[in-house]
Amino acid sequence: MSEMSRRRFLQLSIMTGGALLVGDALNQILAITPKTRRAYAADPIKIGILDPLSSPYKTSSIHDVHGANVAVDLFNRKGGVLGRPVVILEADDASNPETAVKVATKFIKEDRVDALMGTFNGDCALAVGALAKREDKLFMVTGAHLPELTGAGCNSHTFVFMPNAGMLSNAVAPHLVKASGTRWFMVTTGTLDGKAAAQAMAAAGRAHGAEVVGEALMPFGSTDFTAAFMTAKDNRPSLIVLNLYGWDLIHALKAYGKLELAKDKIGVGGMISGEQIGRPLGYANNAGIWGLIWDPKIDTDGSRRFIQGVIEKYNHTPTSRCYLGYAAMTQILEAMQRAGTTDTAALIKALEGHEFDGLKAGRSMFRASDHQHVQDVLVGEAFGKELGLGHYKILATVPGEAVAGPTGLCKL
């Protein structure tokens, strides 16, 4: 794939209806030959993925699992890990900490998984992280952005692949100020995650001269944001910051467009969005400036290889949530290969301080001091029409070291 040009990739995708490169062609791209395929003589390595498959985050969660499956397929085609096939077990945590602990306990006690990954809600991630430490299992957080996970709530067994709220907010805030000014009104979901996003966005905004002139708190799973936006309008903001995600964010952006707030010169944006929001929202309804985890226009060998793998298996260009599942799973399995074992202590040692291909322009590494994945953060502007691969014009790629912040609160 490293020798495949972007133009050739698109040509091949078009030739197959924007869909598949199959069989020998894909194997050549992914450096898989018949010689690398072999029979397995050992029990499988099991990775338990728990995600909110039935909550307002459900669309994103499905993409997380898609990306993980593509990574596992790639390893299994090359002979597995440590001579063993890799299998994924999936469970729904329903965005509920008690449910998350219950399904994670089943993974550990009954299914005998070798590692855990997943979660989107911060409170679920904290709860599963505590369980993983008690039960001596590695836990890779893929979707939660809660700063406590690598701060006061960090632990030796939890690694966080997702950029945290501070990293995302520090990257996007100067672009929001430049585009829409300094009078900010916030619409925030009333969850731990929403409050963390609001706190991080307020702090990042203040550093660039922004003032929060009001806030509307919304229940998780809201579908009608009309009243919140009318309250915002009464406060005469230059920007509405949406501390929302999943279907909450989709419904809010639909309301923003329907109320034509852009005509009142009120901008919109926030800490995080991506293709997983833009696609169900639709090009015409997408708007604003956002922090992005990854984007399909990133032109690196690793990204191209990943994109083609998702197209081959699922017939769609990957989202950033696919990226998180794929890249996080890849790091778990590569750590097992480096360690030569699935032993948890050895995996932790193999991951701490490890620098790797994060499928972005800059370097990626797990900080040994707090287990945060330090990585590039992108800033993108949503367009009301297709823009190459995806919905966003990339305004900036911010190196992780510039926004990762200090590590003093973490005591591993």
Question: What interhelical angle do 122-134 and 192-206 show, nearest 10?
Answer: 110
C-beta separation of 260 from 230 below 8 A: no
What does the pLDDT average to over 311-329?
94
Of 49-63, 144-158, 165-179, the least confident: 49-63
Residue 2, pLDDT > 80, answer no
pLDDT tens per residue, range 349-363: 999 999 999 999 999
- 386-397 in b/e form (b: 16+ CB < 10 A) is ebebbbbebbeb
Q: CA 82, CA 102: separation in Å to the nearest integer? A: 30
Quickly tell me which residue has 């590039």 as its tokens. Answer: 376
Looking at residue 60, its pLDDT comes to 66
Looking at residue 35, its pLDDT comes to 41
Percent of the chain with pLDDT strictly greater than 90: 80
Cα dihedral angle (122, 126, 128, 132), rounded to 10 degrees?
140
Residue 370, pLDDT > 90, answer yes
pLDDT tens per residue, range 324-344: 999 999 999 999 999 999 999
Mean pLDDT of the chain: 90
Looking at residue 257, its pLDDT comes to 95
Residue 175, pLDDT > 90, answer yes
Looking at residue 280, its pLDDT comes to 84
Residue 227, pLDDT > 80, answer yes
Residue 379, pLDDT > 50, answer yes
Looking at residue 33, its pLDDT comes to 44
Retrieve residue 111's tokens: 């299914």
pLDDT tens per residue, range 260-289: 999 999 999 999 999 888 888 887 889 999
Looking at residue 316, its pLDDT comes to 87
Percent of the chain with pLDDT strictly greater than 70: 88
What does the pLDDT average to over 364-386?
93
What does the pLDDT average to over 13-26?
38
Confidence band of 383 (pLDDT split at 50, 70, 90):
confident
Q: Three-state SS string across the chain, please?
A: CCCCCHHHHHHHHHHCCCCCCCHHHHHHHCCCCHHHCCCCCCCCEEEEEEECCCCCCHHHHHHHHHHHHHHHHHHHHCCCECCECEEEEEEECCCCHHHHHHHHHHHHHCCCCCEEEECCCHHHHHHHHHHHHHCCCEEEECCCCCHHHHCCCCCCCEEECCCCHHHHHHHHHHHHHHHHCCEEEEEEECCHHHHHHHHHHHHHHHCCCCEEEEEEEECCCCCCCHHHHHHHHHCCCCEEEEECCHHHHHHHHHHHHHCCHHHHCCEEEECCCCHHHHHHHCHHHCCCEEEECCCCCCCCHHHHHHHHHHHHHHCCCCCHHHHHHHHHHHHHHHHHHHHCCCCHHHHHHHHCCCEECCCCCCCEEECCCCCEEECCEEEEEECCCCCCCCCEEEEEEECHHHHCCCCCCCCC
Residue 377, pLDDT > 60, answer yes
Q: CA 38, CA 272: separation in Å to the nearest integer? A: 42
Which domains, from first to last, does the chain contain? Answer: 6-163+299-374 (3.40.50.2300), 166-292+379-403 (3.40.50.2300)
C-beta separation of 143 from 324 below 8 A: yes
What does the pLDDT average to over 209-227?
97
What does the pLDDT average to over 4-15?
41
What does the pLDDT average to over 150-179?
97
pTM of the model: 0.89
Q: CA 60, CA 395: separation in Å to the nearest integer? A: 23
Residue 173, pLDDT > 70, answer yes
